[in-house]
Structures are given as structure tokens and as C-alpha cells.
Amino acid sequence: MQFTAEHCNHNFVIGDADTEVVAAANRQLLDAAAVTGRDVGSYVLFIVVIGETDEEAEAKVQYYRENADLDAIAFMTGQAAMDNSGATAARITELQGACFFNIAIIAGCPETVAAKVDEFAAIEGTSGMMLVFDDFVQGVTDFGEKVMPLLTCRESVA
């Protein structure tokens, strides 16, 4: 965070289902920036799974968990475990959610996804989000066509 506050404009923060966890990470960066006098912010990383209904999206998430390639996950976490320099490596090596790199998931119908994105966008220090989609082409298409029109956090952009 100190390096970002001194030399960068933004810092990636791994998303968490608990808004307070994201808020705490953002506050840490903002506190470091207060010392440098620079304007910096966080880009919060989430995996987005969109379905026609919340239940459909949650079923996709459950399917991915139940059918995860455990050998690939074991290799990935083993490689990440060699990096002892910080929280990101520690986070992605937690096996409980390793099929999603232990990144928080925003899953649901377009209205649910939009509400969650708006909730995290409103946290002080959040400059933007980096979103990863379970099915890239369909996910980006659905997000652009079905979720973005519902976002209140974009009102100033429009």
C-alpha cells in the first residue's frame, strides 16, 4: 500500500463478500496516500457469474466448485505458495475456494449483480473494479446489456 501511495495511481484489492473487508483495505491505502499527499484508489477484483435468476447463477457457481480440476488447483496453489511476499499469494492458496482463486464472487440475476456492484463501488477509496467472468464472451455481453443499464454508480458517467 505504501508503494502504491508513493508511486502508483491504483492498487488491486481482492474482492471479499464482506464490504467491511474491502473498506478496510481501501482505508489502508487511503491512509498511506494521506502521508504522500497523492490521489490513489483501489480497483476491486471480483468474479461475476450472471444467470437469469439468482438460483441459476448460484447453481453455476456450485457446478464449478463440484467439478473443479483438483490436480490443476493443487499445482496452482503450490506455485503460489512459493511467493511469500504478500497477501495475494496467501489468499489464492487457501484451498476452500481455490477454484475461484479465493476471489469473491458476485453471482445472481442482472438486478442482483448490479446492486452488489453499486454497493462495492460506493465504498470510499474504490476507483473501479476489475471483473472476471465465468464465460467471458457471454458474461461481458450480459454485463454490458443487462447489468450496466441498472448501475447507479455510473450515473455521473452517463
Q: Where are the domains of the chain?
A: 2-150
Percent of the chain with pLDDT over 90: 67
The Cβ of residue 89 has, within 10 Å, a number of other Cβ atoms equal to: 15
DSSP H or E stretch at residue 43 = strand 41-50
For residue 15, the model assigns a pLDDT of: 84
* Signed CA dihedral, 50, 157, 18, 4: sign only: positive
The yes or no reply on domain 2-150 and CATH 3.20.20.30 is: yes
- Write the single-letter amino acid at 64: Y
pLDDT at residue 7 greater than cutoff 60: yes
pLDDT at residue 85 greater than cutoff 80: no
Task: Give the model's confidence band at 66: pLDDT under 50 very low, under 70 low, under 90 confident, else very high.
Answer: confident
What phi and psi, each to the nearest 5 degrees, are found at residue 148? -55, -40
Cβ–Cβ < 8 Å for 64, 98 = no
DSSP state of 45: E
Over range 73-96, report the average pLDDT.
60
Distances (CA, A) of 155 to 45, 118, 124: 21, 11, 17
Mean of all residue pLDDT scores within the chain: 87
pLDDT at residue 154 greater than cutoff 90: no
How are the residues of the chain apportioned to helix, strand and coil, as percentages rounded to the nearest 5?
55, 15, 25
pTM of full prediction above 0.85: no
pLDDT at residue 86 greater than cutoff 60: no
Which one is predicted more confidently, 98 or 30?
30
